[in-house]
Structure 1
């Protein structure tokens, strides 16, 4: 292994994805690397003797005309084969390039490729564990590698070569023990990527570098040493809050611009928390006020370690932003340091002991190997152990449930990694902080916990407060899934299955006389009975659903049926539900008995056997949660609850779920939070409607709120427009097909006349999907970045790509209506596909409206209309993010100007915002005029 390898970094462009189907290569690029230096470059365009599809032409810039005089692949096949001989081929997503290239060579009578191959996507996933995207463009921009012609083979090969060298450098920085573990795992990677790790390890052993001072090695695992936590000193006595504008200017100097609206908010917040007047306070601070520092600056002079202030915000992403951006900025302004800490639930953190155990498990899928190697790198970088740092789109794979923190069954001190435990470290940070940052979901779940994780709160700030009622409703929501229950039953298993829990526990009972074998036998009998009983019961429920929907035509794939036990319950269903519940209770009881017996004998157990008990306990906990939901649905009845059955027509049984939720969360919030917290400051950009906070108050269960509205500093008359196309037909008169066509035509009209980034907002994923598929077929969209929620990666990944694009189109629903910060040119046009009313057919919405009617309230007036109004305000808030921004909102729904409720919505928008009806033909011309020519007026 001492010979020097030559790496051939390859990229190809093709007419499609399959040589056998007649697709051909149109460009080949290759860069040779020896001794970590680029020694040779080769690139050629190829005449494919077949037409290049339009979308490939737009993507690569290669047309039929531009390749007409290029050589055929037959002319260059031997040159390419000889160039690659004895080289290790490196490519970004190697399997496509390698298979296609080998197929083309064989077509021309050359031998198939037998070269070793390395994939830079996998290397990047392992060595850059916290990246949100592993697309070539995104990775090269991270390393500031110049990429002149993306999607051209010569340019792509050149930047992939530079990326490969950067990744090699990253590998050099890792401790030897980490690379040794990676080599053990790497045999499961694509092609010969494992050869690369093995070769590199041999080189590392020859030239041993000293271990970095920031790394510690324990039990054969290398992790980053955490910064010690210092007690925060009480500076507040020495430094007082700057009450006057002059004192604030002196404090801010050049670090913060003095803004009247922000100062007004600062003073109001300071007065509220220091005057000891009872009652809670709501401040609507419009976009541009700078509300975060508006409450953080006064807070810094109030919060102490003994009496910390808790800040709750909407998402974990906003939590991170508060800690890593806003708190950092605050500490550059202040003459002292404020320590803040994030409070999240245990399962956000990696459990080192569990991870070490999982490292020993055999690998069954390639993705597990990548995850394990990714985490080995990450542990040398992270100080928090917070899995959110990995920026994965989802954490659904069973691997993550194995290594997540779930607390301890025994004493935490018995954990081998107790001193380095990330969750305990996060708790220590919280205990030493004067500002504790959490999110609404954690807050609402904590209100329900017997053992609270949040400290006793006397001062609480709820940022993005408009979301709290919905999050509280969601926190109270529960789902019983037939498939989930089947999986739990399968996991508990049978004694004959050595991999199942009962199989493994059965072996354990032979060593431990304390563990009663009859418990396992009884549990197995109950499991078998439950499988049959539950299957029959769900079958009966599906029959009930089919009878309920017999006279209705359901176009949608997903079917939701509201369930009312008082009117829909028959004797057979009642009896069957009792039988199922009895079996669940028995299984749960026997399982917990087994765990307790095992723990009584824990001194006789190996570490691995203890983990078996802990994992079994986790499965029982999930099982018990499902059992409790089942009991609540079929044995309990509450006024403020709604239950519905949900399934997909194609696979009704496996997709069958029972959902249960509170209709109104105000009572829960009042009893659990409002009545126990002396000082609560609510803030957000959309709390009131036309000067009234009454809807916001009703949602929370508040009364007699202190209120303050701080208007936007932006000049909406100059900076924004709201347009409604003149020829729109009433939405309710359009078929689904016509409605999709109308949206597509309007979007095409905008993008044909401008190169502005455009966001299209939907009320339903179904419609978003239809529009996305339709737009993909349009030539006007070719060459543009078209991103769609559910198709283009995580929300953060989509926003990153959209921010970097020119003329990008982003289709979003739900979370894209707000919390999106795209200043300047990154967002100039927002298209609202219809007024954002909730679908009245959703079971939850139906139940809520019925609940309001019973209280003699009009659901449309007190719920639907205010919700839609706030949603439109939020949409508009995405558009203007600074004094220099300009933007246009186009609403494809003429109800906004033709109905009385539409006029009520308009009345809640900024008064100076110009609103016009414009013929579709003139929109493009007026749009480019407003955004470009009139821009001079702004400067």
Structure 2
């Protein structure tokens, strides 16, 4: 490239130069003609103390900068270095604004340069990257980054990343570069300059399109990857019945394979279940190797019997793992011709025609422009078109919602992209596959609809089956949020030229005159609808605040069941009347809008592609509009029997945070009738299905209790828990029910601090209540005894569960505080996790809406709500939490349960009996520290 770049990184005393924060380290790497030619770095005396948290983050302390020059003393050198070069940084506006402020303070003229942000570039050129943090990008490219958060190391890595981005951009097809260049002026940094330069180079080169790409209608995409159908003949290869045969099959392609009798036992159980056309429930402990244990018999059965088998999981991570790892391994193990396909709901895939038309619009909205650029690059990489591959912003997801695939309302024959549609391709692959991998929601959606998405099947494996009942409740439930309602309404508003109705009117006006009176009539309905929606959510917010007043000092995010409000609150009638008006307005406007769409379709027989895309978008909008009407009706006007309805929100941001949700109290009858009753064989498996070795609770909840001849198997983990794990119950902690939350948090912190010091971090602390997590975290942080430890807390530290877990693993001395979602589904093998702490036994709060409704349901059945529901649910979550510690055969660690109810109550034994045999210690703090010291 002809431009010279100065790749800059700063370390500062804080985030705001306007608040008097100063630079403490500066570094610039110079790039010329595509090569790093120089680096300038210096500490800078900020003339103010460096805050403790900055010292902790960067490792830079006051002594390191006391003898360094002030910024004024090096300003001339830095100004000269940056002048006439393109300014590059990771999150460029931060560094640039800081320098501008420092130059101004030093008496220099206004500092103007072209700026390039490597964060923006990363989002475009690496649309599937897990994270765009500098440290994660360095790891992605395997760059050495030995001192993160020090300017010289960060600047050099950023320079290396810029050069890598240059390579990636040059490798893009010409048509993709042209479209990226056309869109890039709407971005925040001068990425357009970068793409123009690359495009200029590309046009002077003659290069063939890579063989795996093609250009269709001006968009470069990967060629169709439709899989060949497997050979449809019965193979002689038979299922490996004996242990010797099983070992011979599995050991072929697994390094250091160790025979697992439990895995063989599970294989036979799955095989018998399918052969005998019966259902089975199999609990397979950690380390059994259940994925292979069900895949191998599934594949033999599917190929030899010419039957499709569905594999359903709860997490996307497991779906990808099955397809990329286990399926590929089994293909090498068995001499059977088979194919496997991953199929998700159509909203996971793009409608390429809608996307193509959206590229032709004048669009200055930052998130949608950035997302278009991400997609253009992604289409040159993806074989699946599955949006789960992408890392989209919240604004990007709004744009995706507009161009997602949701079927054809006109005719797919009118869509020039139909024969290249990712969703149709995924369905074709599924039609030709023996094994189809999907998720619980998709499986449930398929049993509800007449036009089924999945191919016909009668055999299925439901992995992560402990989530299946919850998935069913969520799927059959309803949800309504104020912000989502307002956003949908904004699409219809005639005052916005980018909204749907003005564009639809524009289409109509070419074929007939739209009477002003009609447009005014619809507009007046929409205005009334918006007013009523605002009133509805204002009333709900008032009721929410009144009903949760007693809890607001402890929590901000709260739930309240609507049953109690309806019974006790005289103003509920006003809510219901307002909801009825909303339903009426939605119904009236739906009729008018639908009539407009039909007119547009009828009167424009030779629709341009732009207008065809608009009508498709309008039909999608109508589906969302109709769904909103149904939701309001079923939540407020005509609630269905057997459901629980509740409000949840954050008291600090009402009504924007307000949700109204409903779920069926039980799904057992629905699943028994609509799913299990229509299947020949279903295998349900998980590591946590039993309570004290009994499947009864799970069978009742899932709807299998009434079925005959169900195969039941509990297969223990092969891991030696007696040897590798210890369960410690502190005996010098107060009982949680006898002290205040603050007193309990203080007791927790006083124990956790020395234990964390003894274990050198590597500790996961599981909570059931956010107020206790916050108090414990604050007390430990403020103690000053853990200054060299990284404390990461869900709801306090920024990031998703996955990001928090990765940060925890990245730092040697780290402590992770987690709530509900951390009790299961996270995998931290090896020495990264040596100590697991459970602050309380994981009982759901009795006033939680679903728990309250479930308890009432149990009473109606003549059962004790605690023993029939609350205790089994808590035991299963306890088992899930316990399972976070030992993930591999060589893992070793401690489980500390601070809730003494596990030993002081009769029901506490249920928790102990439900986990693998493990040595139990009732110990004081000093004794715990001795155990840690001698054992870990």
TM-score by length of 1: 0.93
Q: What secondary structure sits across from 2:225 in the alignment?
A: coil
Residue pairs, 1:107-118, within 5 angstroms: 107-118=105-116
Which residue is 2:199 aligned to?
201
Which residue is 1:223 aligned to?
221
Which residue is 1:421 aligned to?
421
Q: Shift of residue 648 of structure 1?
A: 4.4
Q: Shift of residue 781 of structure 1?
A: 4.2
Residue pairs, 1:65-80, within 5 angstroms: 65-80=63-78
* Equivalent-residue separation in structure 2 for 1:49 and 1:513 (angstroms): 73
Q: Shift of residue 470 of structure 1?
A: 0.9
Q: What secondary structure sits across from 1:90 in the alignment?
A: strand
Residue pairs, 1:381-400, within 5 angstroms: 381-392=381-392, 397-400=397-400
* Equivalent-residue separation in structure 1 for 2:159 and 2:549 (angstroms): 62
Contact preservation (8 Å) 1:725, 1:920: yes
Deviation per CA, 1:867-896: give whole Å up to 9, x if none: 111111111111111111101111221111
Which residue is 1:625 aligned to?
627
Q: What secondary structure sits across from 1:111 in the alignment?
A: coil
Which residue is 1:466 aligned to?
466
Which residue is 2:584 aligned to?
582
Deviates more, 1:126-135 or 1:11-20: 11-20
Q: Shift of residue 356 of structure 1?
A: 1.5
Residue pairs, 1:338-737, within 5 angstroms: 338-392=338-392, 397-494=397-494, 497-513=496-512, 520-538=519-537, 555-564=554-563, 576-703=578-705, 704=708, 705-737=710-742
Deviation per CA, 1:404-452: give whole Å up to 9, x if none: 1111112212112112111111111101110011111221222222322
Q: Shift of residue 793 of structure 1?
A: 2.1
Contact preservation (8 Å) 1:516, 1:594: no
Q: Shift of residue 812 of structure 1?
A: 2.2
Which residue is 1:898 aligned to?
904
Deviates more, 1:666-675 or 1:628-637: 628-637
Which residue is 1:919 aligned to?
924
- 1:759 pairs with 753, 761, 764, which one? 764
Which residue is 1:934 aligned to?
none
Deviates more, 1:631-640 or 1:471-480: 631-640
Q: What secondary structure sits across from 1:424 in the alignment?
A: helix
Q: Shift of residue 897 of structure 1?
A: 1.3
Contact preservation (8 Å) 2:505, 2:514: no
Which residue is 1:190 aligned to?
188
* Equivalent-residue separation in structure 2 for 1:191 and 1:574 (angstroms): 50
Deviates more, 1:281-290 or 1:507-516: 507-516
Contact preservation (8 Å) 1:509, 1:517: no
Deviates more, 1:153-162 or 1:544-553: 544-553
- 1:856 pairs with 853, 858, 862, which one? 862
* Equivalent-residue separation in structure 1 for 2:639 and 2:11 (angstroms): 63
Distance 1:484-1:193 versus aligned 2 partners, 3 A rule: closer
Q: What secondary structure sits across from 1:882 in the alignment?
A: coil
Which residue is 2:821 aligned to?
815
Residue pairs, 1:259-338, within 5 angstroms: 259-274=260-275, 276=276, 278-304=277-303, 306-338=306-338
Aligned residues: CA RMSD: 2.6
* Equivalent-residue separation in structure 2 for 1:796 and 1:895 (angstroms): 31
Distance 1:547-1:265 versus aligned 2 partners, 3 A rule: closer
Q: Shift of residue 543 of structure 1?
A: 6.0
* Equivalent-residue separation in structure 2 for 1:772 and 1:358 (angstroms): 47
Residue pairs, 1:86-125, within 5 angstroms: 86-125=84-123
Distance 1:594-1:906 versus aligned 2 partners, 3 A rule: same
* Equivalent-residue separation in structure 2 for 1:678 and 1:483 (angstroms): 44
Q: What secondary structure sits across from 1:659 in the alignment?
A: strand
* Equivalent-residue separation in structure 1 for 2:857 and 2:693 (angstroms): 27
Q: What secondary structure sits across from 2:124 in the alignment?
A: helix
Q: What secondary structure sits across from 1:212 in the alignment?
A: coil
Distance 1:60-1:653 versus aligned 2 partners, 3 A rule: closer
* Equivalent-residue separation in structure 1 for 2:45 and 2:683 (angstroms): 67
* Equivalent-residue separation in structure 1 for 2:367 and 2:640 (angstroms): 45
Contact preservation (8 Å) 1:482, 1:654: yes
Unaligned runs of 5+ in 2: none
* Equivalent-residue separation in structure 2 for 1:798 and 1:571 (angstroms): 45
Deviates more, 1:337-346 or 1:562-571: 562-571
Q: In the alignment, does 2:131 pair up with 1:133?
A: yes
* Equivalent-residue separation in structure 2 for 1:188 and 1:482 (angstroms): 30
Contact preservation (8 Å) 1:358, 1:402: no
Distance 1:395-1:103 versus aligned 2 partners, 3 A rule: closer
Q: Shift of residue 216 of structure 1?
A: 0.7
Deviates more, 1:852-861 or 1:183-192: 183-192
* Equivalent-residue separation in structure 2 for 1:386 and 1:668 (angstroms): 30
Q: Shift of residue 743 of structure 1?
A: 3.8
* Equivalent-residue separation in structure 1 for 2:549 and 2:757 (angstroms): 47
Contact preservation (8 Å) 1:28, 1:45: yes
* Equivalent-residue separation in structure 1 for 2:421 and 2:603 (angstroms): 25
- 1:882 pairs with 888, 908, 912, which one? 888
TM-score by length of 2: 0.94
* Equivalent-residue separation in structure 2 for 1:775 and 1:446 (angstroms): 49
- 1:169 pairs with 129, 147, 167, which one? 167
Contact preservation (8 Å) 1:236, 1:301: no
Q: Shift of residue 652 of structure 1?
A: 4.2
Q: Shift of residue 572 of structure 1?
A: 6.0
Q: What secondary structure sits across from 2:17 in the alignment?
A: coil
Distance 1:75-1:837 versus aligned 2 partners, 3 A rule: same
Which residue is 2:752 aligned to?
747
Deviation per CA, 1:125-156: give whole Å up to 9, x if none: 11111111111111112222112222222222
Q: Shift of residue 900 of structure 1?
A: 1.2
Q: What secondary structure sits across from 1:724 in the alignment?
A: strand
* Equivalent-residue separation in structure 2 for 1:660 and 1:559 (angstroms): 15
* Equivalent-residue separation in structure 2 for 1:388 and 1:13 (angstroms): 35
* Equivalent-residue separation in structure 2 for 1:568 and 1:417 (angstroms): 55
* Equivalent-residue separation in structure 2 for 1:483 and 1:8 (angstroms): 43
Contact preservation (8 Å) 1:751, 1:780: no
Unaligned runs of 5+ in 1: 932-939
Q: Shift of residue 612 of structure 1?
A: 2.1
Contact preservation (8 Å) 1:762, 1:834: yes
Which residue is 2:4 aligned to?
6
* Equivalent-residue separation in structure 2 for 1:134 and 1:780 (angstroms): 32
Q: Shift of residue 173 of structure 1?
A: 0.6
Q: What secondary structure sits across from 2:605 in the alignment?
A: helix
Contact preservation (8 Å) 2:250, 2:333: yes
Distance 1:131-1:843 versus aligned 2 partners, 3 A rule: same
Deviation per CA, 1:224-268: give whole Å up to 9, x if none: 113242011146522111212222233234423232111111122
Q: What secondary structure sits across from 1:803 in the alignment?
A: helix
Contact preservation (8 Å) 1:756, 1:825: no
* Equivalent-residue separation in structure 2 for 1:552 and 1:262 (angstroms): 49
Which residue is 2:21 aligned to?
23
* Equivalent-residue separation in structure 2 for 1:622 and 1:172 (angstroms): 41
Q: What secondary structure sits across from 1:30 in the alignment?
A: strand
Distance 1:401-1:901 versus aligned 2 partners, 3 A rule: same
Q: Shift of residue 514 of structure 1?
A: 10
